[in-house]
């Protein structure tokens, strides 16, 4: 679902009509100014305009989404997380918001938070499950990886660049598991979960 905004908290039907009309015009001008400034990479100014928009109407999820993207560009990752989480809270069925939050967690190597966000994304597209398995592997949560592995994983099905990186990490971990399994088989101590994970990832090796 694409980000949208509509006036909600500000009731433009209340009097005085002239003042409320001016407020609506101001909101729209500030919002488009924020988009323009982001487009020319003036992220600080874009943030300022968005904060002014929020002061007028803080019910619009897209404001927090855009705010989060600007904070990422400014490398203010804590503020970016808070803004994106607010966007998700205000519009929980918006895949774009959740994917942006997930990508931020991947970028910051916050695996537990990334896993939580990715588990929600699986509900939108089964293709995300591949990334979830690889992320569990990266976090050394092999039992969880096995529960979600369907042995039909495909690198090409990843939906974004962050996901491709996660899957690449999973492949590297799978290779290490193969080497470990080869060594351990000499002593007959390879567990069943490791064997199944190796089988699921053989198409990558």
Q: With 50 as the cut, is the pLDDT of residue 68 above it?
A: yes
Measured in whole angstroms, the distance separating CA 108 from the mean position of its chain's CA atoms is 11
- Examine the fold and report which residue of 63, 81, 108 is the final residue of a domain before the chain moves on: 108
> Same domain, yes or no, for 155 and 79?
no
Q: With 60 as the cut, is the pLDDT of residue 113 above it?
A: yes
For residue 125 the two structure tokens come to 């597209």
Task: Average the pLDDT over 35-47 and give the result.
Answer: 96
Distance CA 44, CA 71 (A): 8
Number of domains the chain contains: 2
Percent of the chain with pLDDT over 90: 44
> Same domain, yes or no, for 103 and 9?
yes
Confidence category of residue 144, pLDDT binned at 50, 70, 90: confident
> Same domain, yes or no, for 78 and 130?
no
Write down the pLDDT at residue 63: 96
Q: Is 199 within the bounds of a domain?
A: yes
Q: With 60 as the cut, is the pLDDT of residue 2 above it?
A: no
For residue 187 the two structure tokens come to 């002593």
> Same domain, yes or no, for 128 and 99?
no
DSSP state of 9: S
Distance CA 34, CA 48 (A): 8
Inter-residue contact 61 to 87 (CB < 8 Å): yes
Query: For position 22, which CATH number holds?
Result: 1.25.40.10
Helix 192-201 vs helix 161-185: crossing angle, to nearest 10: 130
> Same domain, yes or no, for 103 and 147?
no
Write down the pLDDT at residue 54: 96
Write down the pLDDT at residue 204: 45
Structural domain including 134 reads 124-205
> Same domain, yes or no, for 142 and 101?
no
> Same domain, yes or no, for 98 and 137?
no
Task: Average the pLDDT over 88-98 and give the result.
Answer: 93
> Same domain, yes or no, for 155 and 131?
yes
Write down the pLDDT at residue 19: 57
Q: With 70 as the cut, is the pLDDT of residue 28 above it?
A: yes
Measured in whole angstroms, the distance separating CA 181 from the mean position of its chain's CA atoms is 34
Which range of 7-11, 19-23, 76-80, 157-161 scores highest in mean pLDDT? It is 76-80
> Same domain, yes or no, for 164 and 101?
no
> Same domain, yes or no, for 35 and 86?
yes
Q: With 90 as the cut, is the pLDDT of residue 161 above it?
A: no
Confidence category of residue 59, pLDDT binned at 50, 70, 90: very high
- Examine the fold and report which residue of 52, 81, 108 is the final residue of a domain before the chain moves on: 108
**Of all residues in the chain, what percent are helix, strand and coil, respectively (each to 5)?**
70, 0, 30
> Same domain, yes or no, for 83 and 172?
no
Distance CA 158, CA 144 (A): 19
Average pLDDT of the chain?
Answer: 76
Inter-residue contact 107 to 73 (CB < 8 Å): no
- CB-count burial class (<10 Å; 0-12, 13-18, 19+) for 93: exposed
Helix 111-122 vs helix 95-107: crossing angle, to nearest 10: 160
């Amino acid at each position: 679902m694409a980000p949208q905004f509509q006036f909600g908290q500000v009731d433009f039907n209340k009097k005085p009509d002239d003042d409320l009309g001016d407020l609506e015009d101001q909101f729209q001008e500030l919002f488009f100014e924020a988009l323009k400034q982001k487009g020319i990479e003036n992220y600080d100014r874009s943030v300022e305009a968005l904060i002014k928009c929020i002061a007028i109407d803080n019910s619009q999820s897209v404001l927090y989404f855009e705010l989060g993207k600007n904070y990422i560009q400014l490398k203010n990752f804590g503020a970016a997380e808070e803004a994106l989480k607010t966007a998700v809270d205000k519009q929980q069925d918006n895949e774009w918001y959740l994917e942006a939050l997930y990508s931020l967690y991947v970028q910051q190597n916050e695996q537990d938070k990334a896993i939580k966000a990715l588990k929600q994304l699986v509900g939108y597209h089964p293709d995300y499950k591949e990334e979830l398995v690889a992320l569990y592997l990266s976090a050394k949560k092999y039992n969880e990886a096995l529960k979600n592995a369907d042995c039909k994983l495909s690198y090409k099905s990843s939906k974004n660049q962050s996901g491709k990186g996660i899957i690449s990490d999973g492949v590297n971990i799978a290779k290490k598991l193969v080497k470990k399994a080869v060594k351990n088989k000499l002593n007959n101590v390879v567990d069943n979960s490791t064997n199944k994970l190796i089988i699921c990832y053989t198409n990558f090796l």
